[in-house]
């Protein structure tokens, strides 16, 4: 299947991986809205909120808790926002939950630096 996120999971395309287990894969968004912008995806290809398996959805939400904590602790984020697009607002047709850190003061950092902070 010609899916960019499936190719990231398989390793065909590289990514800044933060975490993976049997069911989910967590990595940095290549075009971040804020430094530390992360995507959480199921390993099994599925389109969106309507089609995703409920048990996997709970795993993804639990991972969002962990990711939010990590962003606040390691990136000193002042908060975080979850976004999940469906239908015409969804660009990549493989379910993904955005975890977007929020900062009181605008921050600019390159993705390599963010990756080092989050994985150390
Ligand atoms: P959507 O609008 O579908 O919710 O958002 C798709 C997100 O995937 C965007 O934030 C975009 O930057 C991100 N994205 C698209 N292609 C790639 C890629 O090849 N690698 C990574 N890490 N993120 C991607
Ligand atoms: Zn896919």
As a whole number of angstroms, the distance between CA 89 and CA 28 comes to 20
- Tell me: pLDDT of 72 over 90: yes
Is residue 94 annotated as part of the catalytic site, yes or no? no
pLDDT value, residue 19: 98
Q: How many domains does the chain have?
A: 1
User: Mutate which of 31, 93, 96, 112 to test ligand 1's pocket (most atoms within 8 Å of Cβ)?
Assistant: 31
3 CB less than 6 Å from ligand 1? no
Nearest to 115 by CA among 65, 74, 78: 74
As a whole number of angstroms, the distance between CA 45 and CA 54 comes to 14
- Six-digit token pair at 22? 């049997």
- Six-digit token pair at 23? 């069911």
27 CB less than 6 Å from ligand 1? yes
* Number of residues written out for the chain: 120
Maximum Cα–Cα distance for the chain, whole Å? 41
The bridge status of strand 79-83 relative to strand 38-42 is unpaired
CATH number of the domain bearing residue 12 = 3.30.428.10
Question: In the predicted model, what is the mean pLDDT of residues 44-51?
Answer: 98
Q: Which domain holds residue 75?
A: 4-119
pLDDT value, residue 49: 98
Stated pTM of the model? 0.98
38 CB less than 6 Å from ligand 1? no
């Amino acid at each position: 299947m010609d899916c960019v996120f499936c190719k990231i999971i398989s390793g065909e395309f590289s990514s800044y991986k933060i975490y993976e287990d049997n069911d989910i894969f967590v990595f940095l968004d290549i075009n971040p809205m804020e430094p530390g912008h992360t995507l959480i995806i199921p390993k099994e290809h599925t389109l969106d909120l309507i089609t995703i398996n409920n048990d996997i959805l709970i795993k993804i939400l639990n991972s969002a808790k962990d990711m939010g904590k990590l962003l606040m602790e390691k990136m000193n984020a002042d908060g975080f926002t979850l976004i999940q697009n469906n239908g015409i607002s969804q660009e990549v047709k493989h379910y993904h939950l955005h975890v977007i850190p929020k900062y009181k003061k605008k921050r600019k950092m390159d993705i390599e630096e963010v990756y080092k902070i989050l994985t150390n």
